[in-house]
């Protein structure tokens, strides 16, 4: 991964700047300041691409932008003469269950924490601020905010209700939780109506469909038996 400054000059985060894994803290998110941009923590924002502008970044005092969307152009960064240039990280990863985001989890979460420790703020976005960018935010909350995956998901969903990492990303987050915390707080549950396993935190979305599917299946089997 490469991190660039406002004028696309490469900037590096040295290994000795990164915070050790065990240095976790608790946080409280403050009030969202710009519609469409969700503030998860005082130092962490999550959003979709359509609401980002150089003015918004300046208004929120964002110092690090992460763009996880190869289908988008580069994020518009503020160009004013600032004593602290905006860092920019682009991760070319599609919103597909088979895309491996986990290879970036440690590097990205460490960068976000380094920025926080130096008094900065990070904004993470993809196209809609629903799947890819949310996945990285959940990884950060697990590693540095003392939350397990279930807590991180419902905490983030309370602030940004539309979040919905795809099933593959959730499997990667479960593995990351196992790696970080030695436990798994979100189970995968098989739903026959869609012929796959889903995270149990999504069950309310599929329960009515599954119940309907099972009722229709029983009716169909009954008709077959009568014949």
Residues 196 and 137 in one domain: no
Active site residues: 126
Residues 141 and 167 in one domain: yes
Residues 120 and 198 in one domain: no
Is residue 47 domain-resident?
yes
- Among residues 197, 196, 179, the alpha carbon closest in space to that of 188 is found at 197
Cα separation of 134 and 50, whole Å? 16
CA dist 50 to 92, 103, 128, Å? 18, 27, 8
Residues 138 and 195 in one domain: no
Q: What is the CATH number of the domain that holds 66?
A: 3.90.190.10
Given this model, what pLDDT does residue 225 score? 63
Residues 82 and 98 in one domain: yes
What's the domain range around 213? Answer: 187-226
Residues 49 and 158 in one domain: yes
Residues 210 and 126 in one domain: no
Cα separation of 201 and 208, whole Å? 15
Residues comprising the chain, all counted: 227
- Predicted structure pTM score: 0.81
Neighbours of 36 (CB within 10 A): 13
According to DSSP, residue 51 is labeled G
Residues 201 and 119 in one domain: no
Confidence bin at 17 (pLDDT 50/70/90): very low
| Structural domain count, the chain | 2
Given this model, what pLDDT does residue 211 score? 61
Residue range 120-158, pLDDT digits in tens:
999 999 999 999 999 999 999 999 999 999 999 999 999
Confidence bin at 38 (pLDDT 50/70/90): very high
User: Ranked by mean pLDDT, which of 8-17, 32-41, 50-59, 166-175 comes out on top?
Assistant: 166-175
Residues 108 and 97 in one domain: yes
Residues 201 and 179 in one domain: no
């Amino acid at each position: 991964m490469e991190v660039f400054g406002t004028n696309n000059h490469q900037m590096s985060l040295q290994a000795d700047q990164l915070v050790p894994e065990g240095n976790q803290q608790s946080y409280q998110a403050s009030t969202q300041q710009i519609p469409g941009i969700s503030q998860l923590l005082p130092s962490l924002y999550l959003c979709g691409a359509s609401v980002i502008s150089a003015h918004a970044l300046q208004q929120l005092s964002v110092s690090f932008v992460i763009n996880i969307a190869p289908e988008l152009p580069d994020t518009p960064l503020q160009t004013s003469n600032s004593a602290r240039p905006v860092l920019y990280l682009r991760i070319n990863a599609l919103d597909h269950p088979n895309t491996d985001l986990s290879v970036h989890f440690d590097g990205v979460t460490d960068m976000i924490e380094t920025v926080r420790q130096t008094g900065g703020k990070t904004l993470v976005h993809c196209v809609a601020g629903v799947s890819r960018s949310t996945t990285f935010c959940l990884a950060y909350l697990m590693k540095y905010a003392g939350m397990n995956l279930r807590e991180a998901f419902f905490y983030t969903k309370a602030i940004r209700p539309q979040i919905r990492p795809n099933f593959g990303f959730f499997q990667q987050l479960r593995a990351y939780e196992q790696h970080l915390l030695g436990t798994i707080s979100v189970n995968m549950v098989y739903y026959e109506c869609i012929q796959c396993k889903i995270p149990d935190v999504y069950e309310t979305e599929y329960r009515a469909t599954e119940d309907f599917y099972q009722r229709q299946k029983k009716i169909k089997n009954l008709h077959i038996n009568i014949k």
